[in-house]
Amino acid sequence: MITVTRIGKHLGAEISGVDLSQPLDDDTFAQVAKAFFDNEVVFFRNQKLTPAQQVAFTRRFGILEAHVRKESRLGGHDEIFVLSNKLDANGRAIGAQDAGRYWHSDLSYKRQPSMLSALYSIEVPVKDGVALGNTYFASTTAAYAALPDAMKQRLERMRNVHSYREYRLKNYAAQQDEERRGIRTVQEHAPTPEQLASVPDTEMEVVRTHPVTKRKGLFINEGHTSHLTGMSRAESDALLAELYAHITQPEFVYGHSWREGDLLMWDNIAVQHKATFDYDPLPRLMYRTTVRGPAVV
């Protein structure tokens, strides 16, 4: 018996009554998928999943991506991207620790950006009884719906460029700055020239219609959008800053406080998300799977 409990005003729901370690029958899967698209972010508590079970469940939604950062993939499971601040026996990071510094949508810089991401929490840092490392999600569909009509019409004609290269260089510079200031303990790999060259910049529409729900949303984000086309960089920066502030207002945001055994999925076409780095050096370990979405226009 599946129960769906809405948490946030515009997004976020808990689904209970489902054991994701078992294959779901078609009817149960259809209910889960409907709840997912309706609520944009859903989570299941108290799951016990092997990597293979996580892969099998998320594969029901489509083709899984292997992340461009090979060093952060789980050994034996290329589809699992490891998010962690833990180190291996040689003192090397076992996963990506910096993912989610900026508001972003996963793999939005690809020609076929991610449709959904699923994050399974294995180790959650807790201090004084409070879980750290919350993840925040903002509904770009709710944010779009709340815009004045004149702004909606203006944005309908606009396009933006998503650049993995600019994102990685910006992110790495921020990391190095933190290391210099002594507020960071994990040394991560610098992006390699091959990685930077492997994902070309992609230009796409600003207002994107969701392929399933048909809701319109804003497909721009602080992490990956380098600029709006057809205007100066200064004009673009100013308009983007205004739109980012609009999207991330509290009424459009759901913040997730993690527990071990959570499987949380979000719709990368409808929401953007941001991590919180308030727990280092307490260990955190999460496995992510990512389902490829349709091509951008």
- Catalytic residue IDs: 104, 106, 273, 288
Residue 118 or 243 with smaller CB distance to Fe ion = 118
Residue 24 or 271 with smaller CB distance to Fe ion = 271
Give the DSSP letter of residue 71: G
List 8, 100, 113, 293, residue binding Fe ion (CB under 5 A):
100
Residue 65 binds to Fe ion (criterion: CB under 5 A):
no
Give the DSSP letter of residue 3: E
Residue 106 binds to Fe ion (criterion: CB under 5 A):
yes
- Segment interacting with Fe ion (CB under 5 A) among 26-34, 59-67, 95-103, 192-200: 95-103
**Among 86, 89, 67, CA closest to 78:** 67
Residue 133 binds to Fe ion (criterion: CB under 5 A):
no
Q: Given CA atoms 134, 12, 122, 288 in this order, what sign does their dihedral have?
A: negative
- Segment interacting with Fe ion (CB under 5 A) among 78-86, 96-104, 195-203, 210-218: 96-104
Q: How far is the CB of 32 from Fe ion (least distance, A)?
A: 21
The torsion angles phi and psi of 289, rounded to 5 degrees, stand at -120, 150
Contact 268, 106 (CB under 8 A): yes
CB atoms near residue 128 (< 10 Å)? 5
Q: How far is the CB of 4 from Fe ion (least distance, A)?
A: 24
User: What CA–CA distance (Å, rounded) separates 213 from 191?
Assistant: 36
Judge if the upstream peptide bond of residue 281 is cis by omega within 30 degrees of 0. Answer: yes
User: What CA–CA distance (Å, rounded) separates 279 from 201?
Assistant: 33
The torsion angles phi and psi of 87, rounded to 5 degrees, stand at -115, 150
> How crowded is the C-beta side of 33, counted as CA atoms within 13 Å?
16
CB atoms near residue 205 (< 10 Å)? 16
Q: How far is the CB of 34 from Fe ion (least distance, A)?
A: 24
**Among 201, 246, 198, CA closest to 225:** 201
Q: How far is the CB of 196 from Fe ion (least distance, A)?
A: 19
Judged by CB under 5 A, the number of residues near Fe ion is 2
Residue 100 or 113 with smaller CB distance to Fe ion = 100
Q: How far is the CB of 116 from Fe ion (least distance, A)?
A: 12
Residue 44 or 167 with smaller CB distance to Fe ion = 167
Q: How far is the CB of 152 from Fe ion (least distance, A)?
A: 27
Residue 155 or 262 with smaller CB distance to Fe ion = 262
User: What CA–CA distance (Å, rounded) separates 82 from 9?
Assistant: 30
- Segment interacting with Fe ion (CB under 5 A) among 75-83, 88-96, 100-108, 123-131: 100-108
User: What CA–CA distance (Å, rounded) separates 4 from 183?
Assistant: 40
- Segment interacting with Fe ion (CB under 5 A) among 19-27, 106-114, 126-134, 231-239: 106-114
Residue 106 or 222 with smaller CB distance to Fe ion = 106
Residues near Fe ion, by CB under 5 A = 100, 106
